[in-house]
Amino acid sequence: MENETKGIIDELKQKIDVYLHDYMEEKGSYNKKIYESMQYSLDAGGKRIRPMLFLLTYMMYNENYENVIDIAAAIEMIHTYSLIHDDLPAMDNDDLRRGKPTNHKVFGDAIAVLAGDGLLNEGMNIMFNHCLKNNDKNKIKACSIISESSGVEGMVGGQTVDILSENIKIPIDQLYYMHSKKTGALIKASIISAAVYAGASEDEIEKLNYYGKKLGLAFQVKDDILDVTGDAKKLGKKVKKDKNNNKTNFITTYGLNKCIEMCNSITSECIDVLGRINRNTKNLEKLTLFLLDREK
Amino acid sequence: MENETKGIIDELKQKIDVYLHDYMEEKGSYNKKIYESMQYSLDAGGKRIRPMLFLLTYMMYNENYENVIDIAAAIEMIHTYSLIHDDLPAMDNDDLRRGKPTNHKVFGDAIAVLAGDGLLNEGMNIMFNHCLKNNDKNKIKACSIISESSGVEGMVGGQTVDILSENIKIPIDQLYYMHSKKTGALIKASIISAAVYAGASEDEIEKLNYYGKKLGLAFQVKDDILDVTGDAKKLGKKVKKDKNNNKTNFITTYGLNKCIEMCNSITSECIDVLGRINRNTKNLEKLTLFLLDREK
């Protein structure tokens, strides 16, 4: 059982990696540079957590994940665009991402802005095309959930609050708001959209919604922990960023020990709610524990 | 007849202005700033050509344009996002747009990047929601056409080539490619998507496709003419930008007189093909002539 789960997670990661790489391969004419730039950031790797959550949730209802791998890839494109824009000098001004020079360091600021724009747009193109081929209300709804989660009431809104919170101490509710939007929204949407797509019951969607919300929070608390305790080499990016940028985070709010405790207890809540769904949730459980234990 | 057309064009422009303003009004909490920033650029005005083309084409088939005003607004949001990003210091570094300080001059570079991202994303949200309420293949196809036109094979791709063409003389076919993508793609898509949405015949779509392609070209040649002959005050932006940025454009390629001639003859071709469509095209004709005669 253990190996089977590990097997499918590795298999999915590889499928996503290949899909994303091939998608950009040998495309473009005069605009070839934009494909190179998008491919560069997609190929930089990453854990592929969001597309994985989408596919694993879908697989609770339907084994044929190949049907929806395009949507999984669209989610990762949207996530990758957000990283490229977050790293820009105008934003967090980061030189390193996933152990490689950031997009703008390689392609320049202008192309990096455009590569981000292009990835967001391409993610949407993929979803519209998917809906065109699979014209069905649940499927359109699923794409709409993903699209909403990355916008101003989701990721973009969260990043806005993050930018506005530099060098000021923000209240706890604003900290939770920021992360529930910036990181949480797309993570939760990856799960919920797959369930909606597959025709899950309202009760299941409610439980997965709770799971997604908690998972997003655990993910962010863990990120803040790694920012303090992590190894820059393993993480592939700078550490102690929040401290250096004078940002409020979960560590500055609760302290390291309390954060570790929080991360464990929220993860337990995640596992617990999955256990109350009357389907095979073992792969999602495995991924949840992996996220708690990760070193990057 | 003349006044009737003027009447509907003014009416549509006002409807679009109000829709866009109200859309962003009193929204947001901690993320309120992003709505203010998006609203600032939407309210800066502009000719609303793309949403107007969408609505006027739709009205050849169906008078009830209120049904699709959300999609028209989505198109203008996408256009506005592209202006915000184009104006960034990392791109064209412009201080003035439509006679007002550019978005990043007012809100800072980080919020301007996010406002652009937010507008693109919100345009897509609107279209997914529209498809959800009007689940129909033609309608999804229409949204897909708009989405494709703004991406790497459209506007983003054209802007990429524009950025890469600074300070070098580019061949004529590359100049045509650049503009057909950067400006032409979304203009053409505004027309074609409306026709597809409304269930136009293949013959009509083919003619409108020709019209849209030519109109986009005439629009760009006119833009290049105004960059040389125009009044910065009326235009609300800097003139002689291409010359100062050492960019190849239609003027540097063909000279001013030839460009004026081109603009007239392409406009005639536009009017001609509209005349061969067996529907009421008078509003589109009027808009076409307005675009030729415009001073901004």
Per-residue pLDDT tens digits for A38-66: 999 999 989 999 999 999 999 999 999 99
Secondary structure (3-state) at B294:
coil
Which pLDDT band, with edges at 50, 70 and 90, does A256 fall under?
Answer: very high
Q: Residue B5 — pLDDT band, cuts 50, 70, 90?
A: low
Contacts of A197 in chain B (CB under 8 A): none
Residue A69 confidence (pLDDT): 98
- Which amino acid type is present at position A118? G
Give the C-alpha separation, B145 to A132, whole Å. 11
For residue A287, name the pLDDT band (cuts at 50, 70, 90): very high
Nearest CA in chain A to B78: A121
Among the ranges given (A9-13, A145-149, B241-245), the one the predictor scored with the smallest mean pLDDT: B241-245
Strands A100-101 vs A96-97: parallel, antiparallel or unpaired: antiparallel
DSSP assignment of B96-120 equals EETTEE-HHHHH-HHHHHHHHHHHH
**Which of A107, A121, A245 best tests the B interface by mutation, with the highest count of B CBs <10 A?**
A121
Mutate to test the interface with A, among B125, B137, B141 (most CBs of A within 10 A): B125
> pLDDT tens digits for B98-122?
889 999 999 999 999 999 999 999 9
> Residue A87: what pLDDT?
97
Identify all chain A residues contacting B164, using CB atoms and an 8 Å cutoff. 30, 33
Instruction: Output the average pLDDT for chain B.
Output: 94
> Which secondary structure element, helix H or strand E, spans residue A143, and what is its range?
helix A137-150
Among left, alpha and beta (phi > 0; psi -120 to 50; other), residue A26 is: left
Q: Average pLDDT, stretch B267-278? A: 97
In whole angstroms, give the CA distance from residue A293 to residue B14. 56
Phi then psi dihedrals of residue B97, to 5 deg:
-150, 130
Residue in B34, B112, B161 nearest the CB of A31: B161
CB contact at 8 A, B154 and B193: no
What's the pLDDT tens digit per position in B199-212? 999 999 999 999 99
| Least CB–CB distance from B30: residue in A120, A129, A161 | A161
Phi-psi region of A196 (alpha: psi -120 to 50; beta: other; left: phi over 0): alpha
Separation between Cα atoms, residue B131 and residue A56, nearest integer Å:
26
- What is the C-alpha separation between A185 and A213, in angstroms, rounded? 8
Give me the interface pTM, i.e. the ipTM.
Answer: 0.96
Whole-number percent of chain B with pLDDT over 70: 98
Which residues in chain B are closer than 8 Å to A150, comparing Cβ atoms? 121
Q: Is residue A214's pLDDT more than 50?
A: yes
Which residues of chain A does B85 touch, with a Cβ-Cβ cutoff of 8 Å?
A: 113-114, 117
Please tell me the predicted confidence (pLDDT) of residue B256.
94
Nearest to B128 among A113, A147, A177 (CB): A147
Indicate if the pLDDT at residue B280 is higher than 70.
yes
Of all residues in chain B, what percent carry a pLDDT higher than 90? 85
Q: What is the pLDDT of residues A157-195, one digit of tens each?
A: 999 999 999 888 999 999 999 999 999 999 999 999 999
Q: What is the pLDDT of residue A1?
A: 43
Name A97's bridge partners.
Answer: A100
Q: Which two tokens stand for residue A88?
A: 């820009």
Contact across the interface for A31 and B90, Cβ inside 8 Å:
no
Q: Is A53:A191 a contact under the CB 8 Å cutoff?
A: yes
Helix A69-87, helix A2-24: angle, nearest 10: 70
pLDDT at A296: 84
Q: Tell me the pTM.
A: 0.96
* CB contact at 8 A, A234 and A295: yes
CA distance B45 to chain A (A): 22
Q: Which of A231-235, A247-251, B174-178 has the lowest mean pLDDT?
A: A231-235
pLDDT at A235 over 90: no
